[in-house]
Amino acid sequence: MRVVVIGGGAAGASAAARARRLAPDAEVTLIEASGMITHAPCGVPYALSGLVPSYRMLRTYSPEKFASERGIGVLTNSVAQDVDPDGRTVLVRRNGETVRIKWDALVLATGARPLVPRIEGLEDVRPLTFRHPEDVPGATSRLERVKRVAVIGGGYIGVELAEALVDMGKEVSLFEMMERLLPGPFDPEISRVLEERVRGAGVRVHLSEPVRALSRRSEGVVVNTDSGSYEVDDVVIGVGVRPNVDLALKAGVKLGATGAVETDDLMSTNVDGIFGAGDLVEKYHLVLRKKVWMPLAPAANKEGQVAGANAVSRGSLRMRGIVGTAVTRFKDLYLARTGLGQEEASKNGFDVESTTIVAKTKAGYFPGGVEVTVKMIAERGSGRVLGLQAAGRDPVVAAYADIAAVAIERRMSTEDVFFSDIGYMPATAPVWHPLIVAARTLSKGRF
């Protein structure tokens, strides 16, 4: 049994490790285009800012250690160029040579790559993009020479890069085409809290201002929007990522409506013997009851586990759906969300109601408590909780989303949440936990 995994990130490394563990006799090969495996793209902004001292720390294992401890063949700096699904081979470019590697099961985990929007002058200015830890050293030295940096994109990546740039002492201008920051995952009540914090850190936030053109000048770059022209020294693009489907398409693998690879709950694609996992593939959304594309590491890891298990033992493990839990931060402000946003829920046919409360993270009398803004979204009538979003200067807001994620997965109502046995002590929560207050507020006096 030969298992080949293409892509050494979270999903691919999980798949390889899982296949090896379940089938000690299988020959497992992990093929990675870069020099790193088990790398953590989520850590890139913090390696850029220096909070994490080196980009080399953004990995769990060195290729050598992963290979020797797990008994997996690891080929780094090796680019899979083509897949023959009938002959069951993959063509790999490595050390200037092209080799053909046979597989009985193939796991595609080629991840995502930065989305580059259509902007005039891009080829000339060549803005920085970030996806891989190895992007960091070049960017660091390029940014050392500049002061004023434009960030294009006010989603997760743009906001996290803005934090890094502020920490590097840059003057940051952030451009977002929509009318608020994090417009996809967060509702206006939460985006507003973020915007205040970002502006408070000195970032010039330009909302509803899509960047139309970039033009290089003798010194620096001019960013043109419909509202104005802004002179900066360099430009960073952080508008998001797209699934890296090139190889999948060559293999004849089918994409879903989202543009990412479609799989079943065994992580099998339409091509016999080929599995997909991680940011490359669609996920099943348990509330929307349809496929979505949402590139997040925890699901990628689990999909890798499932793909690796089924690659060697078909039917042994099935992936479950997600509810869209995600966390980010800007400096000391943490933001977390799960389930559906209010607009997203309405668009998808739910009759929704919501409440936004401001609460404290600790008992009122206890030192160190901070304000958190919590928005809960529920289905009118049934009271079924559909979504939760929270922002505050305490990482505990991530846990609020975690608790709500489990509640949403289990189709709990606001009354169920109100009566759930969430713990209390004055140093960790108010006696009426913010989630319980939100659920009670939504009940409009029923409890």
Closest approach of Cβ 416 to a copy of itself, in Å?
Answer: 8
Q: CA 269 from chain center: how many Å?
A: 22
Residue given tokens 């899982």 in the structure block: 18
Alpha helices, DSSP H only, in 212-283?
Answer: 246-250
If one asks whether residue 319 binds a copy of itself (CB under 8 A), the answer comes out as yes
Which of residues 228 and 367 has its CB atom nearest to a copy of itself in the complex?
A: 367
User: Judged by CB under 8 A, which stretch of 56-64, 178-186, 190-198, 254-262 contacts a copy of itself?
Assistant: 56-64
Active site residue 351: no
Sign of CA dihedral 231, 236, 239, 245: positive
Beta-carbon count within 10 A of 208 CB? 13
Closest approach of Cβ 114 to a copy of itself, in Å?
Answer: 19
On whether the CB atoms of residues 254 and 270 are closer than 8 A, the answer is yes
If one asks whether residue 334 binds a copy of itself (CB under 8 A), the answer comes out as yes
CA separation for the pair 391, 191 (Å, rounded): 9
Which of residues 207 and 286 has its CB atom nearest to a copy of itself in the complex?
A: 286
If one asks whether residue 58 binds a copy of itself (CB under 8 A), the answer comes out as yes
Find the binder of a copy of itself among 203, 239, 398, 437 (CB under 8 A): 398
Sheet holding 2-6, edge to edge: 73-75, 27-31, 2-6, 105-108, 274-276
If one asks whether residue 42 binds a copy of itself (CB under 8 A), the answer comes out as yes
User: Judged by CB under 8 A, which stretch of 179-187, 221-229, 267-275, 422-430 contacts a copy of itself?
Assistant: 422-430
User: Judged by CB under 8 A, which stretch of 89-97, 122-130, 184-192, 361-369 contacts a copy of itself?
Assistant: 361-369
Find the binder of a copy of itself among 2, 21, 291, 393 (CB under 8 A): 21
Which of residues 14 and 76 has its CB atom nearest to a copy of itself in the complex?
A: 14
Closest approach of Cβ 78 to a copy of itself, in Å?
Answer: 24
Output the six-digit token pair for 342: 């209010």
User: Judged by CB under 8 A, which stretch of 28-36, 89-97, 379-387, 431-439 contacts a copy of itself?
Assistant: 431-439
If one asks whether residue 423 binds a copy of itself (CB under 8 A), the answer comes out as yes
Find the binder of a copy of itself among 298, 343, 347, 358 (CB under 8 A): 298
Residue 150: its H or E element: strand 148-152
- CA 363, 364, 366 angle in degrees (round to 5)? 65
Residue given tokens 């996290």 in the structure block: 160
Q: Which three-class secondary structure state does DSSP give residue 410?
A: coil
175 phi, psi to nearest 5 deg: -115, 125
Closest approach of Cβ 368 to a copy of itself, in Å?
Answer: 9
If one asks whether residue 310 binds a copy of itself (CB under 8 A), the answer comes out as no
If one asks whether residue 317 binds a copy of itself (CB under 8 A), the answer comes out as yes
On whether the CB atoms of residues 335 and 399 are closer than 8 A, the answer is no
Total number of residues binding a copy of itself (CB under 8 A)? 72
Q: Using CB under 8 A, which residues numbered 364 to 393 contact a copy of itself?
A: 364-367
On whether the CB atoms of residues 319 and 28 are closer than 8 A, the answer is no
Which of 72, 63, 21 is closest to 38 using CA atoms?
63
* Beta-strand pair 2-6/333-339: unpaired
Q: Using CB under 8 A, which residues numbered 176 to 195 contact a copy of itself?
A: none
Letters for 335-354 (x = contact with a copy of itself by CB under 8 A, - = none) are: -x-x----------------
Q: Catalytic site residues?
A: 42
